[in-house]
Amino acid sequence: MSSSEEIEWFESEVKPCEAALRGYLFKRFPILVDHDDLVQESYARLIRAKRSGNLTCAKAFLFTVARNLAIDMIRRHKASNHEPIAEVGEDSLPEAASDAAASLDWQQRLEALIEAVASLPDRCREVIMLRHLDGLSYKEIAERLGISPNTVKAHVVKGVRDCTSYFRKRGLLDAAPSNLPVNIESPQ
């Protein structure tokens, strides 16, 4: 593909998705202040995938890459986000010890959830996030990704089981037999 063809492809297939991509990132990841970096890195990865011949649907690839980059950015921010002890004053301490314990517990559970979802295979993670973050039905996910509702269900089941296993291995859930059925609603 020549550079002029690549520019034409980018302008006709990718550039029209930019507003929707920025809106998606702003809605799903409002705590991130610099969506421009995510968009630019997503474009770079999209172009590399196009050049290598590993691209089937530019829009789906673009949104998936942007979401994964946002998750990685949040994870890196949480890992490096700390206040030096010298800068901590009395006004930054929680009102009560129970509030601090509850806040720490919630933060640890949230980080474990982010890590568990991030550890899923790409397509499985995409289905889980569309289902549980975006609230899409199995049918809507199937249409968006070009797969059957039964495949969506299989990804949801795998995602829930893998996340459950992830939590058990880290002592966040009681040990239980892994052959218990997972209660997954039927495709909508």
List the chain domain ranges: 1-80, 104-188
Using a pLDDT cut of 70, give the percent of the chain over it.
Answer: 76
pLDDT of residue 156 exceeding 90? yes
Please say whether the beta carbons of 9 and 59 come within 8 A.
Answer: no
Q: What are the structure tokens assigned to 76, written together?
A: 């890196």
- Could you tell me how far CA 117 lies from the centroid of its own chain? 7
SS3 call for 84: coil
Which residues lie below 8 Å from residue 162, measured CB to CB, with a gap of 6+?
Answer: 116, 119, 120, 124
Distance CA(69)–CA(43), nearest Å, equals 12
Q: Which residue has the tokens 């920025």?
A: 22
pLDDT of residue 114 exceeding 70? yes
Residue 87 confidence (pLDDT): 47
pLDDT of residue 112 exceeding 90? no
- The pLDDT confidence band at residue 157, using thresholds 50, 70 and 90, is very high
pLDDT of residue 85 exceeding 50? no
pTM for the structure as a whole: 0.45
Q: What are the structure tokens assigned to 142, written together?
A: 């199937």
Residue 83 confidence (pLDDT): 45
Which CA distances in Å does 114 have to 52, 58, 64, 103, 109?
30, 26, 16, 16, 9
- Could you tell me how far CA 49 lies from the centroid of its own chain? 20
Distance CA(179)–CA(164), nearest Å, equals 12
Architecture of domain 104-188: Orthogonal Bundle (1.10)
Please say whether the beta carbons of 135 and 166 come within 8 A.
Answer: no
Q: Looking at per-residue confidence, does 81 or 131 come out higher?
A: 131
